Amino acid sequence: MDIEIRSIDNIKGKGLFAKKDFNAGSVIFEEDPIVCCQFSWNAAYGYKACDHCLRPLESAEENARRLTAKPELHLPYSNLCRTDKSLITSCSLCDIQYCSTKCQTAAYNQYHRTLCFERKSDLEDHPLYQLNEMWKQMHYPPETSTIMIIPRILATIQQAVNPEEAQAQFLQFCHRTVNDDSKIAHKFLGDKFVDQISTLHNLLVQAMNPDRISHFLTQEGFQTLIALIGTNGLQQQLSPEEAVKLDKFIDKLYEDMDKHSGTFLNNEGVALYSLQSSCNHSCIPNAETTYLHNNSRLSLVALTDIKAGDEISTSYLDECTLQRSRYSRNKELTQNYLFACTCPKCELQAHDPDVTSDEDDSEEMSE
Ligand SMILES: C[S@@+](CC[C@H](N)C(=O)[O-])C[C@H]1O[C@@H](n2cnc3c(N)ncnc32)[C@H](O)[C@@H]1O
């Protein structure tokens, strides 16, 4: 392994460090998620993805046709699309689709044996179905996560050969206090919906057999899980096929898609990664996460040259927020991740006045 996880201090916790030099542009490591799940509205709006690895189940051309409502549309180089529909398979009991029998077997062995709805006929009475519907009412797009990853985490623990080990794997994501967890859970659900936390909690309790996971089904345990996916869940966006990156064509395509499908352009979901979850934030990151395999496999790519011993960091902020003032950046980091950044850029700007960027000002005025 060319990287290691080391403890830094009480504030930052642990971090990811390079054990060798990496050139800018090189892949530092790749990993599959411990667990991932497509966003609820993303699935409801017809983006067909493998239920286990999120690989698109439609070709890039079919995707573009559906999203633009233009059945005659032809994509250039559509023969380069890597979606092999001959491998698609589905669960014989609940009809959920997978890109291959490999994913179907992996899902069944990891969590699907516990979570399968079994009969389509009484689907709407199933507490997991109701949990998803309740979540959708609380989280209109753009989505940042889905509650449905929580039953997957719990079923993974229940089905594991060694449940203690599986549980420890998830608990490594949490190094906060009960109070912090509750703050994050409230922020994550949004002011309007904090009262609904007990409804979500009750539906989860009804849906899951408490065997081996009873402590996660308490109110506190549930908030820990919400905080876990809120601060560690990586949002995934799998872009349409590389081969169609012909700028003019793409611009027009996106314009047409936007008219017909709004923001539902990509296959999106949330995932928990073991190594990636140890990567801390910096406002001048030396690495970024990408998805080079058209599924949930993550690649961490160096943005700059990295020397052996350097800490590897990514930005938790989107491009736009990253360009804002130190005050604006830290406002977002404090609210969403409960820390203030002390990276060299923040240190350099430490004496800047505590004002938001112009863009924030206009956003705040319109709120
Ligand atoms: C995905 S985890 C990163 C790994 C984490 N350091 C740990 O020990 O588990 C995200 C959490 O790490 C901490 N963190 C990340 N970047 C930080 C930074 N630049 N300064 C202080 N804390 C940071 C925050 O507590 C944040 O909620």
**pLDDT over 50 at 71, yes or no:** yes
User: What amino acid occupies position 317?
Assistant: L
ipTM over 0.95: yes
Residue 330 near residue 346, CB atoms below 8 Å: yes
Query: How many angstroms is it from 341 CA to the middle of ligand 1?
Result: 10
**pLDDT over 70 at 186, yes or no:** yes
Q: Alpha-carbon distance 104 to 349, whole Å? A: 50
Atom of ligand 1 minimally distant from the CA of 343: 19
pLDDT at 6: 95
Residue 311 near residue 17, CB atoms below 8 Å: yes
Atom of ligand 1 minimally distant from the CA of 337: 27
pLDDT in tens, 114-150: 999 876 667 788 899 999 999 988 887 777 889 999 9
- Burial class of residue 316, CB neighbours in 10 A (0-12, 13-18, 19+): buried
* High-pLDDT (> 70) share of the chain, %: 84
Phi, then psi, of 261 in degrees rounded to 5:
-120, 5
In which band, very low, low, confident or very high, does the pLDDT at 236 lie, cut at 50, 70 and 90?
low
Which of 144-148, 187-191, 293-297 shows the lowest per-residue confidence on average (mean pLDDT)?
A: 187-191
pLDDT at 360: 54
What are the residue boundaries of the structural domains of the chain, listed by start? 35-235, 325-367
**pLDDT over 80 at 156, yes or no:** yes
Order of strands across the sheet that contains 234-238: 35-38, 267-272, 234-238
Query: How many angstroms is it from 19 CA to the middle of ligand 1?
Result: 20
Model-level pTM?
0.84
Mean pLDDT score, 79-83: 71
pLDDT at 237: 53
